Structure 1
Amino acid sequence: MDDNEMTAEPYKIKMIEHLKVTSREEREQFIREAGYNVFNLRSDDVYLDFLTDSGTSAMSEQQWAGMMLGDESYAGSRNFYHLESVVKEYYGYNYVVPTHQGRGAEHIIARMLIRPGTYIPGNMYFTTTRAHQELAGGTFADIIIDEAHQPSLSYPFKGNVDLQKLRDLIARVGAANIPYVSIATTVNMAGGQPISLGNLKQVRELTQQHGIKIIHDMARVAENAYMIQQYEPGYSDKPVAAIVREICALTDGATMSGKKDALVNIGGFLALNDLALYEEAINLVVLYEGLHTYGGMAGRDMEAMAIGITESVNEKHISARIKQVQYLGKKLLDGGVPIVLPVGTHGVYIDATAFLPHLSQLEFPAQALTIALYKEGGIRSMERGIVSAGRDQNTGEHIFPKMELVRMAIPRRVYTNLHISLAAEIAIKVYENRNNISGLKMVYEPKYLRFFQARFEPL
């Protein structure tokens, strides 16, 4: 990639948020008090926050103006009907159930479709998605292609489904015991890797033969569509918006965290095509979220999301967003830092196994690397390894994922390219001193989603 492509962002800054600069001694104290878990840090003590791209985007002036048009009526908010019309226009789903964020939608779809003893195949797990599936009594089955588990392999669509793995699962457990296939557009745990339209069409054909639904995790569908436009033959002349519609048309429903593509700080929805499922879903949303015309959102948040969906498929926006991520990836590669290839769409994933070969997986190398990045330059990143993988629900043993990754997720429209260059310099310096990084032991472990609240001590 040519560095000249990143000379300027396609927007200007109207409002700023001051960043706090801390000393290394202060950061060492802060992370010690946080139990060596960056989730426990105060945001004020973080310089560059690459923990997540979820809910951290900068909204546009149109979105902020839309917030002032919030209709906070308990029932029938006009903002819901605007959101509903936008979802139908850009995604094509018939029915919309608003939720407080994506995991609210995951909870409802899992509760409706999963029964104990069933299996939910997917193109690699995501933490909250798998947790809801397991709490409903299901078992996740990974059907992603093997290339997705090889960080150094530069394969363009690592989010693809291995069709033979899916066939084998159907043959083993029976189609009646597979309530749906969970398909993520851009696979978070694989490094933000996209699925190709060609592969999704094959998955759709196979599932239709067996009467199995496809439920779409569409939080970053526009980013996936951009990668299809750039790298899949036959799509270079298609607008991102058209590719998004084509992706969604191959699925039966979707869970959406509006905190990603839709550029809002809170909110999500469940989208469905089946009327009977929709009627069941709105009964459940009243129990767990709120009335079916607001779910877990205020009217102003629904308005901002409707506008954000429109902005998410803007060609200049989506191109600049992903090129900034690729810019960070190139900087790290030039500095010798081992990362997941090819660079994904919402962040750069450092290969902690290759970065810290002297640490075993039980010494939590990815977690240790997040600590080193914070100590060195105040960067907050996220562990995506054994801590995130958790424990087997049947045996209680650690799940050992094939990759130990550290995600540097870039918020949309928040940081300048100079910030990105500085982040790369900090990571490269940590890499140059990598032999000084020691492992960790876990001293507190919560029952669910332990990576959020676990505490550690240095070995």
Structure 2
Amino acid sequence: MSVYPPEPWRVKMVEPLRTTTREDREAALLAAGWNPCLLRSEDVYVDLFTDSGTNAMSDRQWSALMRGDEAYAGARSFYVFEQAVRAFYGYEHVIPVHQGRGGENILSRCLIRPGTHMPGNMYFPSTRAHQELNGATFHDVIVDEAHDPSSEHPFKGNVDLAKLRAVIARFGAESIPYVSLAATVNMAGGQPISVENLTETCALAHAHGIPVFLDTARAVENAWLVKQREPGRARSTVAEILRALCAPTDGAVMSAKKDSLANIGGWLALRDPALADQARGLALLYEGLHTYGGMAGRDMEAIAVGIAESVEENHIRARVAQVDYLATRLCRAGVPIVRPAGGHCVCVDAAAALPHVPRPEFPGQTLACAVYLEAGVRGVERGAVSAGRDPETGENRLPRLELLRLAIPRRVYTRAHMDLVADGVIAVHRDRDRIRCGLRFTCEPGQLRFFQARFEPTSGTTIFG
């Protein structure tokens, strides 16, 4: 069994959880249209739908909330927030936004034009949606190992430089607004990119006059995995590695709801002062004044504290170890998962777990429903439902990875909760032959459909035989 260090915190306040029966969960899932996203939170016992905004804040963060300056313009809290981003991430120009996708929207509107092309180390649904809505076509330039759940490659978030060169050669540098990178790569299972590869990718892009922007939502987790896996980095602090990841890039989009241990907020950070001025103008339209960006002053204070706490070695060690513990339990029970374990989630390979469910019947969504019914645990599909439809053909995209993602909130659940999750997933896998069919849409939104779509079994009234 992997090492499970004692949690580096103690409980000062509790939120009661409601236990439910199988009959309760069946009724709730039916009302939700076989989409766990549409469940009410009180019907979920352990909620691993996302690690975004679901963190437990520390006593220091709660104390910081009371210091919030709620002035509309020039609030003191903004400058505390700005200084924290500058100190730990190294970017000069900091534009607050209500959450990460607010920054994605602004950056896309600033730089993307119809007919352009966006290389990236695997897509993320909201990122690609912003890029496509502004007229770009996404091109995946991640290493092939990222699409292989069984590969033990330590840096499955790395860019394949040959693929990036091919995109530049085919479309021309002038048709590429920027290279869009993530650290870690969510859709690959929280897989990291190495500092060496990120630096080489930036050098290649910059040689062609192409900027590089980094999604840093989980870059602290990426930094910890670099410390464990990349030669020559073991003696570096997580804070030093975080700065090294950001250093070669031209800016970053951040959802502070992840690594920064907050419940809301984010930022767009830039090096180019002219681009920063343009982005501030759009922030005024879509987010709020450039010194609050859709956040209250108290949120900016809490984020500033969370940024500093996020790089504390005891915190990030325990956070990633909890993920690895769950992954190890599932792996030893024969549940097919994405290996190696990432920084924020464990992903079950739903295509391998349910080979008898055809890909057009959404094995990932089907498995998510089965796990909820078994254990009251909510995960999220990361496969064909999340990938959406091809805008040209209208056909469902069928990515090579068809996953059930179990994203673990920070400082929320204990080892006992992880054991409950593991027992539930293992039970579903043991009885997987009882799942006799998949799901089909009854309601399909045009964008980010996994959030609001509704489904029904493709045969009868239940997925079980």
Q: Fold match, TM over 0.5? A: yes
1:125-144 pair list within 5 angstroms: 125-144=123-142
SS of residue paired to 2:181: strand
Return the alpha-carbon distance in structure 2 between the equivalents of residues 140 and 217 of structure 1.
16
Q: Name the SS for the 1:151 alignment partner.
A: coil
Show the counterpart of 1:454: 453
Tell me the distance in 2 between the aligned counterparts of 1:360 and 1:396. 19
What is the 5 A alignment of 1:44-83?
A: 44-83=42-81
Distance in 2 between the 1:250 and 1:205 partners? 8
The offset of 1:6, in angstroms, is: 1.2
What is the aligned partner in structure 1 of residue 195 from structure 2?
197
How big is the shift at 1:38?
Answer: 0.6
Q: Please list every run of 5 or more consecutive structure 1 residues that lacks an aligned counterpart in the other structure.
A: none
Distance in 2 between residues matched to 1:225 and 1:135, nearest whole Å: 32
Partner SS for 1:269: strand
Counterpart in the other structure of 1:355? 353
Amino acid across the alignment from 1:319: R
Quote the RMSD (CA, aligned, Å).
0.7
CA deviation vs aligned residue, 1:327-385 (integer Å, no higher than 9, x gap): 00001011111000001110100000110010110111000000000000100000000
- 2:427 corresponds in structure 1 to 429
Within 5 A, what are the aligned runs for 1:49-448? 49-437=47-435, 438-448=437-447
Partners in 2 of 1:294 and 1:129 — Cα distance? 23
Deviations 1:39-87 (A, max 9, x none): 1100000000000000000000000000000100000011100011011
Q: Distance in 2 between matches of 1:394 and 1:93?
A: 38
Mapped partners of 2:108, 2:26: distance in 1:
41
- Report the CA distance between 1:400 and its aligned residue: 1.1
SS of corresponding position for 1:6: coil
State the secondary structure of the residue aligned to 1:324: helix
CA distance in 1, matches of 2:203, 2:99: 30
**Alpha-carbon shift at residue 395 of structure 1 (Å):** 1.7
Q: What TM-score, normalized by structure 2, do the two folds share?
A: 0.98
> Structure 1 residues 37 and 229 mapped into 2: Cα distance closer, same or farther (>3 Å)?
same
Q: Deviations over 1:180-211 (max 9, x none)?
A: 00010010000100001111111011011101
Distance 2:350 2:57 in 1: 33
Quick one: distance in 2 between partners of 1:246 and 1:441?
45
Q: Which residue identity lines up with residue 456 of structure 1 in the other structure?
A: F
Cα offsets for 1:223-276 (capped at 9, x unmatched):
000000000000000000000001111100100000000000000010000000
Q: Distance in 1 between matches of 2:346 and 2:281?
A: 40
SS of structure 1 residue aligned to 2:267:
strand
Task: Give secondary structure in 2 for the equivalent of 1:308.
Answer: helix
C-alpha distance in 2 between matches for 1:80 and 1:417: 37
- For 1:261-297, what per-residue CA distance to the aligned partner results, in whole angstroms no more than 9, with x for missing partners? 0000000010000000110111110011100000010
Cα displacement (A) at 1:7: 4.6
Number of equivalent positions: 457
2: distance between equivalents of 1:208 and 1:111? 21
Q: 2:441 is matched by which residue type in structure 1? A: M
Write out aligned runs for 1:1-80 (5 A): 2-3=1-2, 5-80=3-78
8 Å Cα contact 2:5/2:318 also seen in 1: no
- Between the aligned partners of 1:211 and 1:116, the Cα distance in structure 2 is 19
* Per-residue Cα deviation, 1:83-113 (whole angstroms, up to 9, x for no partner): 1101110000010000000000000000000
Q: Which TM-score applies when normalising by structure 1?
A: 0.99
- Distance in 2 (CA, whole Å) between partners of 1:265 and 1:208 is 35
Alpha-carbon shift at residue 394 of structure 1 (Å) = 1.6
- Preserved CA contact (<8 Å) 2:35 2:454: yes
**One-letter code of the match for 2:190?**
G
Counterpart-to-counterpart distance in 1, 2:129 and 2:379: 22
- The superposition leaves residues 9-66 of structure 1 with CA deviations (integer Å, 9 ceiling, x where unpaired) of 0110000000000000110010001000011100000000000000000000000000
Secondary structure of 2:198 counterpart: helix
